[in-house]
């Protein structure tokens, strides 16, 4: 039987699910998603002042422009912006690595052979290099370039089933 896992991710949060079958489908909806892990990118959630404080005096004051050979260039000096962007990229790469590590554990623990990955486009860019470590030939990966992290579990299942990415949940049969 095919075992599914769903990963929904954006820059601040990721959620990992498995698709489970009910032991009593006659009285419960089956199959249904079970959330296995929720991860947050603490670096992304922190305020800019906590993450990127520049201790140099006056570094955050607005400049009138740079000087080249005694002339004003009109270009402000913001050399700390590049450092900030590098730190932010590094934090996002680390978060993507952590997410994929947890996904691999879920794949191994639940014998998953299909993964549906739903992520905003920027997050997909950070996840793709990490996904190269998934067991080749064992796991089929389907990408959905959308941020679905805000959906409730049953809404996520319904949405992915309507796109033919997961088997739909069947309502219990009524006993007559």
For residues 21 and 46, the answer to whether their CB atoms sit within 8 Å is no
For residues 30 and 168, the answer to whether their CB atoms sit within 8 Å is no
Q: Say how many residues make up the chain.
A: 176
pLDDT at 38: 95
pLDDT at 126: 96
What long-range pairs does 54-58 form, CB within 8 A, spacing at least 24? Answer: 54/80
- Residue 116: strand, helix, or coil: strand
Stated pTM of the model: 0.73
pLDDT at 169: 80
> Do strands 140-144 and 71-72 pair parallel, antiparallel, or not at all (unpaired)?
unpaired
What is residue 60's DSSP assignment?
T
Q: Provide the residue-wise pLDDT of the chain in tens; the chain has 176 residues.
A: 569 999 999 999 999 999 987 655 455 566 889 999 999 998 765 444 444 444 444 444 444 455 555 555 555 555 556 677 788 889 899 999 999 999 999 999 999 999 999 999 999 999 999 998 887 788 999 999 999 999 999 999 999 999 999 998 876 555 55
- Residue 158: strand, helix, or coil: helix
pLDDT at 48: 47
CB atoms within 10 A of CB 106: 18
Angle at 111 between CA 108 and CA 116, to 5 degrees: 90
């Amino acid at each position: 039987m095919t075992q599914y896992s769903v990963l929904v991710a954006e820059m601040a949060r990721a959620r990992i699910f498995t698709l489970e079958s009910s032991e009593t489908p006659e009285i419960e909806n089956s199959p249904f998603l079970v959330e296995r892990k929720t991860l947050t990118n603490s670096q992304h959630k922190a305020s800019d002042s906590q993450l990127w404080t520049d201790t140099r005096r006056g570094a955050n004051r607005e400049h009138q422009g740079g000087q080249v050979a005694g002339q004003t260039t009109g270009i402000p000096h913001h050399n700390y912006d590049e450092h900030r962007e590098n730190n932010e990229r590094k934090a996002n790469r680390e978060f993507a690595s952590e997410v994929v590590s947890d996904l691999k554990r879920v794949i191994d623990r639940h014998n998953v052979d299909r993964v549906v990955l739903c992520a905003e486009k920027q997050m997909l860019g950070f996840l793709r290099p990490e996904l190269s470590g998934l067991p080749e030939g064992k796991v089929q990966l389907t990408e959905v370039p959308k941020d679905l992290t805000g959906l409730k579990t049953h809404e996520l299942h319904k949405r992915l089933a309507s796109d033919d990415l997961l088997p739909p949940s069947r309502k219990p049969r009524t006993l007559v």
